[in-house]
Structure 1
Amino acid sequence: MYTLKDCFKELGGSYEEVRKRLPSDKMIVKFLKKFIDDPSFASLQEAIQNKDREQAFLAAHTLKGVCQNLGMHDLYMQANQLSDLLRHEWDEQGVLVFEETVPVYERAIQAIEKI
């Protein structure tokens, strides 16, 4: 049986740390499932394609916060790097980091869908 601990292992996070913030497994599952429909990643993808630095930064920053709160460490690290790169000016390195972020995001969604 696939457990929340298994999910967090795939997310690169700590179940125990998230459990300190969210009082029940039911609530953790609820918020993880809501992440699947969170528009931050789609907004980030669109902004990167349009080379819209401001929107890309906002989307990356939002994604970073959501991932941090939900204990999704691997995706948090990618979003944090993007947020830092795009904070003040467009940086083509952001496109490369975004491309590296896509499979991390996809793995996170797959892990969450298993719970």
Structure 2
Amino acid sequence: MTLSQLSSQLRFDQAGALARFGGSEALLLRFLRRLPEDKTFAALSDAVAAGDLTGVERGAHTLKGVAANLGLDALRDASSDLVSAVRGGQTDQIAPLFALLSDAYQAACRDISQL
């Protein structure tokens, strides 16, 4: 799979991500391939399971930044929605929003593994 094909599979801002990586496709690919190894999603999952609102906010906010830098728009948006819910005290929304975030994360990891 190429970056262009990734754009057709995911909501991926290829142009924006390449700009943030100085136009280097090789560098962007290297960082994209690191996403599945990153511990942020696992820490977020643990925080959700434990009901740790501070950990949920921190993990979702960190993942939002990672996703934004990599151009993974669907994952960024899902992370942002979870951050907003926690900050807004909408604790009843954490589980369904985390499920959407998890789906976006799994899709990103699945497609990135094919790069």
Q: What is the TM-score with the length of structure 1 in the denominator?
A: 0.92
Where do 1:78-93 residues align within 5 Å? 78-87=78-87, 89=89, 91-93=91-93
Alpha-carbon distance in structure 2 between the residues aligned to 1:82 and 1:44: 11
Give the AA of the match of 2:4.
K
Superposition RMSD in Å: 1.3
1:13 is matched with 12
CA contact (8 A) 1:11 1:75 kept: no
Where do 1:12-51 residues align within 5 Å? 12-23=11-22, 24-51=24-51
Identity percentage of aligned residues? 27
Alpha-carbon distance in structure 2 between the residues aligned to 1:9 and 1:59: 27
SS at match of 1:114: coil
SS at match of 1:26: helix
Give the AA of the match of 1:98.
F
Moved more, 81-90 or 22-31: 81-90
Moved more, 87-96 or 7-16: 87-96
Alpha-carbon distance in structure 2 between the residues aligned to 1:43 and 1:88: 21
Q: What is the TM-score with the length of structure 2 in the denominator?
A: 0.92
Alpha-carbon distance in structure 1 between the residues aligned to 2:11 and 2:36: 17
Structure 1 position 89, deviation (Å): 3.8
Deviations 1:2-55 (A, max 9, x none): 211111332302211111111211100110011111111111111001000000
Give the AA of the match of 2:65.
G
